[in-house]
Amino acid sequence: MSAINIPSSEETQPKILSYVADIPNLCSLAGLACTVTAIYCCILGIFHGAMIGMVWAVAFDWADGLIARRMKGRTGTDSAFGGQLDVMIDIVSYGVAPAVLLLSYGKFEPVFLFGAFIMLATAALRLSYFSIFGLSGGVKYTGLAIDNNNLILVFVFLFEGLFNQSVFSIALYVICLSLAALNVSQIKTPKLSGNPVNVYLLAFYTVGLTAFYSWKLF
């Protein structure tokens, strides 16, 4: 990973942990905690719990950007650090977590390794591309933004009980590969997190799915 060169002498460089006090970074780390919980639940086969963690990871991801844009007094270094932290967490939340979900639901059969690798590889490619080129025309993503992976997968799992495990595992495999293809496609998609209406919709979506999956758990 290449470093972003920010001129600063070693004596004046801030401590790494000083950035934990930044509220947007705390939101990012809260999202990471949700993702770790989701991965843990996937490994144990508690998929309803995993869905709760995955949708809250997106909610915290959107929240950190909204808070950062409204905070005053943040320096360029603060913004650069937050951006790098977001990318590191995104690869876990939207690459590793869906890959582990696919592997776990497929009972870790070797055939699911290919799908897991593709999801993780395309997530890494998608994030690297965005880090260099940003938004197309300043307003749209090139390819499906990878936070949509979680939003779509937690919706798909609403129908998991309608199928037997073998059939749904195949459907999940196809959906995951389709998402991976869209992530690295040349389609243009809007930046959903920048619209206040979409933020309210995500809040409703998150609370609604949390209630549903909590009911299924308990």
Q: CA 95, 147, 180: angle at the middle one, nearest 5?
A: 50
Name the least confident of 26-40, 84-98, 129-143.
129-143
Give the mean pLDDT of 182-190.
94
Question: DSSP assignment, residue 160?
Answer: G
pTM over 0.85: yes
- The whole-number pLDDT of residue 6 equals 54
- The whole-number pLDDT of residue 11 equals 57
pLDDT tens-digit profile of 101-147?
A: 999 999 999 999 999 999 999 999 999 999 999 888 878 999 999 99
Residue 16 pLDDT > 50: yes
- The whole-number pLDDT of residue 98 equals 98
Summary mean pLDDT of the chain? 91
Closest Cα to residue 146, out of 113, 173, 114, 182?
182
What is the maximal distance between C-alpha atoms in the chain?
Answer: 61
Question: Quick count: other Cβ atoms within 10 Å of Cβ 120?
Answer: 20
Return d(Cα 144, Cα 189) in angstroms, integer: 6
Residue 158 pLDDT > 50: yes
- The whole-number pLDDT of residue 9 equals 53
Q: Which fold has domain 20-217?
A: Four Helix Bundle (Hemerythrin (Met), subunit A) (1.20.120)
Residue 68 pLDDT > 90: no
Strand residues in 64-156 grouped as ranges (E): 140-142
Under 8 Å between Cβ of 38 and 57: yes
Tokens of 48: 């309803």
Return d(Cα 136, Cα 34) in angstroms, integer: 30
- The whole-number pLDDT of residue 56 equals 98
Return the half-sphere exposure (C-beta side, CA atoms, 13 A cut-off) of residue 201: 8
Name the pairing type of β-strands 188-190 and 140-142.
antiparallel
Return d(Cα 128, Cα 85) in angstroms, integer: 13
Give the mean pLDDT of 15-28.
90
Tokens of 174: 């196809």
- The whole-number pLDDT of residue 141 equals 92
Closest Cα to residue 120, out of 85, 93, 145, 143?
93
Q: What is the CA radius of gyration of the chain?
A: 18
Give the mean pLDDT of 61-87.
86
User: What percentage of the chain has pLDDT greater than the value 90?
Assistant: 72
Return the domain boundaries, the chain: 20-217
